[in-house]
Chains A and B, each alone.
Chain A
Amino acid sequence: MTDGGVRPPSLEEQALDFANELADVLGAVLPDAPHAVAEVVADRVVVRPASSVPVKIRGVRLATLEIHLRCVLDHRGEWLAVESSSFKLSLDADRTPLFRFEFLRAMNVRPSAHLQVHAQRGALSHLLSQAGHPAPYEMAELHLPLGGARYRPCVEDVLQFLAGECQVDTIPGWEQAVRAGRARWRRRQARAVARDFPEEAAETLRHLGYDVVAPSEVPVTSERALYAW
C-alpha cells in the first residue's frame, strides 16, 4: 500500500525524515536552535529538539520553546502519524508556560487540538465564575479548539507566530523555510483528509475533470473524522 504513489520507507527512515524536517526548520528560523533527535522503541517514536530551543530578543535569551512530537505507525502499519504533540513557550525568568499548542488524538472530552494560554483576564474570570467553572481564574484551564487532527497548526505556524507576532530574533530568510515546511505539512494533511473523506475527494476530482473510479468496496468515513473536535 502506498501514500500518494510512494512506498513507505522504514520506520527508522521516516523517524529520521521527521527529525531532519524539524531540525531544518528550527535551524532556519531561530538562532542557535539545537539539532533534533528521534527516539525509537518498537513502533513508537518521539521526535524533539535535542535540548530546549532558546528564544531571543535582540540577542538576549528570554524564553524557551519546547517541542514534542509523539508518533506511531498508522492503522495500516505503514506511515508514522502524530499521536500527540506539544509546542510550549515559557519565559526563562519563571520557567512557567506562556502558551501551549497541544494535540492529543485520543482526547474526547476536550478538543484534540487546542491552545492553552497561561494568563489572567478579569472579565473572563467573572464570566467563568458566574457559570460555576471550577477554576475561573485560570485561563489555561480553557482549551481553545484549533481545528482537530487534520486542520491543526503545524510547527511552522507556531514559528511564524513567534517571528511575526512576538517579534523574536530570527535568521534572515526564515520565511522561506516556514513556507516550504507549511506546504509540505498541508500536502500531507490533504492526503489524510482525502483518506478520511474518499467520496467527497472523488466527487471533487471528477468535478475538476479527473477520471475517478470507485473501488468495489467503498471505504466508509469514520465517525471520528466527521465529529471529533
Chain B
Amino acid sequence: MGTVTAVSRDDLLERRRSILERLGLTYEELLARAEARTLVADEYEALDALKDIAFLLGDD
C-alpha cells in the first residue's frame, strides 16, 4: 500500500536540520565527504535523505 503526504517547506527544513545535527556536519561538509569518497555508514543513508529534501525544496 502507498500513501501520499503533502509536506511543507518548514517540515523539510526541520528534517534537514535534524539529520545534519545527528551527523554533526553541515550539508556542504557532507557533500565534500561524498566528493572525497570518505562517507561512512550513516552518512550514505543521510545523503540520500538530504538529496530527497533538496529535490523537494527545489535546491537540487
Contacts and interface: CB of A to CB of B under 8 A. Distances in A.
Interface of A: 12, 15-16, 18-23, 35-42, 44, 46-48, 50, 52, 66, 68, 70, 83-84, 86, 88, 90, 94-97, 135, 138, 140-141
Chain B interface mostly: mixed
B25 interface: no
A41 B12 contact: yes
A15 B6 CA distance: 11
A138 B2 contact: no
Interface of B: 1-9, 12, 37, 40-42, 44-45, 48, 51-52, 55-58, 60
Nearest to B57: A41
Contacts of B1: 20, 23, 35-36
14 contacts: A18-B2, A19-B3, A19-B4, A35-B1, A35-B2, A39-B6, A41-B6, A41-B57, A44-B55, A50-B3, A68-B51, A84-B60, A95-B42, A95-B45
A20 B45 CA distance: 23
